[in-house]
């Protein structure tokens, strides 16, 4: 078993319906993601999952100096940021890819699969 | 080459992939498999000329390599306890589906061409792990620095390990897509050998075409029911058969109508034709490699360019277009149409491809040829100019340059 981080990317700017174009799409994506999460849980893959607040609300902290330095905004400037993620456990990479594909379909976003060490 | 050296070379070609595959399965680690196999062959090179060739060289290689792998793991275990746990965890992945072929080399092919790896990494890994080409040979074949190629292979192996890409035959539902992925990697190796990219390089690298053919023969053995593997093998044989006639001594590409058909390799053609007839006799709808092989069978059946059965070539391209609506297929179909219905009809078709193929040298070279045949010399000249500008290999520029310079002023 290997643990993987599945990150969902979305636009930096979020509108009234988050990263979705309209209410209907948003409601469907959330419902589908809920179903997917339940399946992950039931099959013993799910370790943790959650959505993130906007990247614009992030703060970068550098504590390497004598006093910590805080800077407003995300660590990297980008047009797209991680909007949410799952931490899962899978038998192997192919299984992780298959789960990521399902998750991507459910939440309607592209998913990055990255193994933990 | 002495007799023993000859044996070692042959055993290396025949056994390398099997030895690496067996070790990779037993120890679940491509690094260990590759290094131990290389060590075993180095020992053979040192010992066999003195001690003689063992009765069963393949088994000797497998045993020696396995012993070397265990030595290596022990040495590393003494250094690092954590590594022992990682490396001694002999492959426990889910068993292969019942009835599936369990040759280790098949698993090795699937892992090397895993879709999560970059295409260039899949090509490099396949040539190294299954084909047994050295990193130096692969680097030279693809005109990159040896260090770059070594890095590419190392990174791919690291990703396989970190992501836990396991050593198994894909599930039945994934199998067709994964097999076509393996074939795509091999076809890419063949094409790179058949028409190498890069200016001032020899246009044909026979070691790559030969390796691609060898790998496809292996896949045919491993997956005898895969018709596209048969199609791909036939396609490559019928293409390779014309290799000598395809380039002049000065390195210029020779078009099909100008080739000396007497210089074609009749043995390869006979084998290719046999495979194509085998596929034609089957009722299963052919895939793209089988159709392309059939097109090449028609070309290689004609004793003279003018005797080519163009109607059948066009019909085959029509079938191919149903599977793959790519503009390149339309372009190739148009070349056959020019022979069947004349250059005017062909030109009308390919002029519609301008938007999608404007950056492709063969599009402009084809247009230039058609315009030349219609006597529209000024437009032909301009099209040859564009083709020359866009071509990727000196051999590709030689043909349009000569044609352009022969146009009446």
Per-residue pLDDT of chain B (409 residues), as tens digits, is 688 888 998 899 889 999 999 999 999 899 999 999 999 999 999 999 999 999 999 999 999 999 999 999 998 877 765 554 544 444 444 444 444 445 888 899 999 999 999 999 999 999 999 999 999 988 888 878 999 999 999 999 999 998 999 888 888 888 888 999 999 999 989 988 887 655 556 666 778 899 899 999 999 988 888 999 999 999 999 999 999 898 888 778 888 999 999 999 999 999 999 999 998 888 778 999 999 999 999 999 999 999 999 999 999 999 999 998 889 999 999 999 999 999 999 999 999 999 999 988 889 999 999 999 999 999 999 999 999 998 877 777 888 888 888 888 6
Q: By CA distance, what is A95's nearest residue in B? A: B165
Contact assignment for B116 to A92 by CB distance below 8 Å = no
Report yes or no: B94 at the A interface, CB cutoff 8 Å. yes
Q: By CA distance, what is B163's nearest residue in A? A: A115
Cα torsion angle, B321, B384, B208, B294, sign: positive
Residue B25 neighbours by CB under 8 Å, 6+ apart: B91, B104, B107, B167
Q: By CA distance, what is A4's nearest residue in B? A: B163
Residue B4 neighbours by CB under 8 Å, 6+ apart: B48, B49, B52, B53
Does ipTM surpass 0.90 in this model? no
Residues of the domain holding A79: 2-115
Contact assignment for B162 to A115 by CB distance below 8 Å = yes
**Chain B residues touching A91 at Cβ < 8 A:** 93-94, 166
Give the minimum alpha-carbon distance from A65 to chain B in angstroms, rounded to a whole number. 33
Please, where are the H alpha helices in A1-117? 23-42, 93-107
**Chain A residues touching B94 at Cβ < 8 A:** 91-92
Residue B81 CB neighbours (<10 A): 8
Residue B304 neighbours by CB under 8 Å, 6+ apart: B261
Report yes or no: B356 at the A interface, CB cutoff 8 Å. no
pTM: 0.82
Report yes or no: B284 at the A interface, CB cutoff 8 Å. no
Tokens of B353: 């491809």
**Chain A residues touching B113 at Cβ < 8 A:** none
**Chain B residues touching A100 at Cβ < 8 A:** none
Report yes or no: A2 at the B interface, CB cutoff 8 Å. yes
Helix, strand, coil shares of chain A as percentages rounded to 5? 30, 35, 30
Report yes or no: B250 at the A interface, CB cutoff 8 Å. no
Contact assignment for A115 to B116 by CB distance below 8 Å = no
**Chain B residues touching A94 at Cβ < 8 A:** 165-166, 170-171, 174
* Structural domains in chain B, sorted by start: 3-88 (1.10.1740)
Report yes or no: B116 at the A interface, CB cutoff 8 Å. yes
* CATH number of the domain bearing residue A92: 3.30.70.1060
Give the minimum alpha-carbon distance from A18 to chain B in angstroms, rounded to a whole number. 30
Contact assignment for A115 to B165 by CB distance below 8 Å = no
In the sheet that holds A80-90, the strands lie side by side as: A46-51, A80-90, A2-11, A111-115
**What pLDDT sits at residue B92?**
44
Report yes or no: B201 at the A interface, CB cutoff 8 Å. no
Please count the structural domains in chain A: 1
Q: By CA distance, what is A117's nearest residue in B? A: B162
């Amino acid at each position: 078993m290997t643990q993987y981080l599945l990150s969902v990317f979305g636009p930096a700017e979020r509108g009234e319906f988050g990263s979705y174009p309209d209410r209907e799409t948003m409601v469907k994506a959330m419902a589908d993601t809920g179903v997917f999460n339940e399946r992950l849980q039931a099959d013993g893959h799910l370790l943790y999952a959650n959505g993130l607040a906007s990247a614009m609300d992030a703060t970068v902290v550098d504590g390497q100096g004598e006093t910590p330095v805080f800077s407003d905004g995300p660590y990297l400037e980008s047009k797209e940021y991680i909007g949410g993620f799952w931490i899962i456990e899978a038998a192997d990479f192919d299984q992780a890819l298959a789960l990521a594909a399902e998750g991507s379909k459910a939440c309607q976003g592209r998913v990055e699969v990255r193994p933990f060490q | 080459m002495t007799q023993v050296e000859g044996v070692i070379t042959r055993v290396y070609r025949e056994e390398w992939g099997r030895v690496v595959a067996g070790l990779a399965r037993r120890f679940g680690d491509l690094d260990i498999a590759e290094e131990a196999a290389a060590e075993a062959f180095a020992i053979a090179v040192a010992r066999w000329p003195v001690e003689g060739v063992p009765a069963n060289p393949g088994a000797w290689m497998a045993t020696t390599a396995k012993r070397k792998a265990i030595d290596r793991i022990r040495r590393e275990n003494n250094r690092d306890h954590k590594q022992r746990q990682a490396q001694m965890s002999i492959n426990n992945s889910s068993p292969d589906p019942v009835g599936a072929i369990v040759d280790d080399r098949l698993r090795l092919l699937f892992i090397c061409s895993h879709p999560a790896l970059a295409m260039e990494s899949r090509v490099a890994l396949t040539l190294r792990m299954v084909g047994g080409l050295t990193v130096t040979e692969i680097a030279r074949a693809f005109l990159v620095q040896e260090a770059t190629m070594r890095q590419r292979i190392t990174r791919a192996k690291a990703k396989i390990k970190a992501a836990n890409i396991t050593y198994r035959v894909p599930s039945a539902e994934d199998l067709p897509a994964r097999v076509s992925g393996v074939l795509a990697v091999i076809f890419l190796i063949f094409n790179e050998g058949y028409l190498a990219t890069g200016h001032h390089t020899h246009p044909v690298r026979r070691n790559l075409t030969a390796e691609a053919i060898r790998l496809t023969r292996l896949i045919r053995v491993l997956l005898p029911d895969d018709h596209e593997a048969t199609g791909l093998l036939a396609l490559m044989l019928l293409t390779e058969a014309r290799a000598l006639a395809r380039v002049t001594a000065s390195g210029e590409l020779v078009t099909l109508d100008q080739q000396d058909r007497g210089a074609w390799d009749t043995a390869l053609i006979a084998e290719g034709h046999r495979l194509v007839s085998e596929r034609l006799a089957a009722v299963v709808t052919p895939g793209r490699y089988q159709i392309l092989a059939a097109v090449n069978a028609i070309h290689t059946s004609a004793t003279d360019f003018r005797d080519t059965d163009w109607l059948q070539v066009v019909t085959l391209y029509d079938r191919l277009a149903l599977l793959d609506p790519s503009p390149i297929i339309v372009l190739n179909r148009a070349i056959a149409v020019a022979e069947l219905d004349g250059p005017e009809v062909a030109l009308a078709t390919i002029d519609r491809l301008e938007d999608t193929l404007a950056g492709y040298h063969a599009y402009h070279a084809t247009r230039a040829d058609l315009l030349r045949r219609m006597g529209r010399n000024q437009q032909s000249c301009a099209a040859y100019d564009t083709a020359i500008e866009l071509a990727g290999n000196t051999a590709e520029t030689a043909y349009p340059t000569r044609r352009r310079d022969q146009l009446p002023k």
